[in-house]
Amino acid sequence: MQMTHKPFQTTSAAGLQEDSLPFKLFQKAKRFGVWNPADLDFTQDKKDWETFSEQQKEGTLRLISQFQGGEEAVTRDLLPLIMTISNEGRLEEEMFLTTFLFEEAKHTEFFRIVLNELGVKRDLTEYHSAAYHKVFSEILPAAMERLVHDQSPEAVAEAATVYNMFVEGVLAETGYFGFYQSLQSINAMPALLEGIGYLKRDESRHIAYGTFLLQRIISEYPHIYDQVMKKMEELTPLAIQINLEGTEEDSDEEKRNTMNFTQKQLSTRMKILGRSRDKRLEEIYQQREEEVGLEEADAMQ
């Protein structure tokens, strides 16, 4: 097998594109992504857990189990995208993606620590419905593994749509909302919520990168916008189904709030991508973070 020679970028006149959005995300990841799940103090969480009704415990475990499986899946399935970006010679993007994978692995550890601290050792896959498995056992790995043998713009766009726009931008964001809606209102499980806050901040950078990636591809290949829209339309019923399954014990108002939040996330992602059709490639690279939806996370920082 013949080795492919890659010229060194950082010792050339090009250096690093320090004003590019991917490099800015890399800087943010270094500043705000270094937190340790093992440092969280679950003393109060364990006390709160003992006061929960069985219904509260079941609802919380459902959410945790879905995140636990989901974080494991996105950690496991991300490598083909990193390899694709590396093969394309996009160094600044690859640098950011090193933090991306590190953070997904850390999120996987976080939810396992939560379960260990609460003394939950039983099999929680009972909470993984057919719709859940459709996304995390079929659609997500298929889209990511496609990149191993197909690194076309269409394949990369499909991967970013499923991974960043849908799994992270819709399902995960709605899950965070569920945690806050059920626990923050009763001032319970502070360490769990603290960790969720860190996760949400990390994921905001991941979604921002996915938005940038799709904008870049759509700018160069305008027909891919319709492909992305079609894929999101196909995935929307699964988001609704998974969220309905997770709100069975909620009040009618909580169910409405969750579904409204899901629809808002879907709409927000599509609006940001829609604007990319009118941007030149250099504009996309030099966007401000808030232009790809990072404004809320900055407020937290």
Fold classified for 41-290: Ribonucleotide Reductase, subunit A (1.10.620)
The single-letter code of the amino acid at 38 is: A
Comparison of pLDDT for 165 and 282, the residue scoring more? 165
In whole numbers, what is the pLDDT of the chain averaged over residues?
88
pLDDT band at 3 (very low <50, low <70, confident <90, very high): low
pLDDT of 70 higher than 70: yes
For residue 142, the model assigns a pLDDT of: 98
Give the separation between CA 297 and CA 96, rounded to whole angstroms: 17
CA 128 to chain centre: 18
Percent of the chain exceeding pLDDT 90 equals 64
Give the separation between CA 272 and CA 102, rounded to whole angstroms: 26
Contact 201, 32 (CB under 8 A): yes
Beta carbons within 8 Å of 182's beta carbon, 6+ residues apart: 56, 59, 60, 63, 250, 254
pLDDT band at 277 (very low <50, low <70, confident <90, very high): confident
For residue 297, the model assigns a pLDDT of: 44
For residue 249, the model assigns a pLDDT of: 62
For residue 181, the model assigns a pLDDT of: 87
- Burial string for 106-142 (b: 16+ CB within 10 Å, else e) reads bbbebbebbbebbeeeeebeebbbebbeebbeebbbe
For residue 250, the model assigns a pLDDT of: 66
Contact 160, 214 (CB under 8 A): yes
Give the separation between CA 258 and CA 263, rounded to whole angstroms: 9
Give me the DSSP letters along the chain: -PPPP---STTSTT---TTSHHHHHHHHHHHHS---GGG---HHHHHHHHH--HHHHHHHHHHHHHHHHHHHHHHHH-HHHHHHHHHTT-HHHHHHHHHHHHHHHHHHHHHHHHHHHTT--S--GGG--HHHHIIIIIIHHHHHHGGGT--SHHHHHHHHIIIIIIIIIIIIHHHHHHHHHHHGGGT--HHHHHHHHHHHHHHHHHHHHHHHHHHHHHHH-TTHHHHHHHHHHHHHHHHHHHHHHTTTTS-HHHHHHHHHHHHHHHHHHHHHHHHHTTS-HHHHHT--GGGGT-HHHHHH-
CA dihedral 292, 295, 298, 299 (to 10 degrees): -170
Give the separation between CA 286 and CA 17, rounded to whole angstroms: 10
Residue 262 burial by CB count (10 A; 0-12/13-18/19+): exposed, middle or buried?
buried
For 17-61, write each residue's pLDDT tens digit: 888 999 999 999 999 988 999 999 999 999 999 999 999 999 999
For 187-233, write each residue's pLDDT tens digit: 999 999 999 999 999 999 999 999 999 999 998 998 999 999 999 99
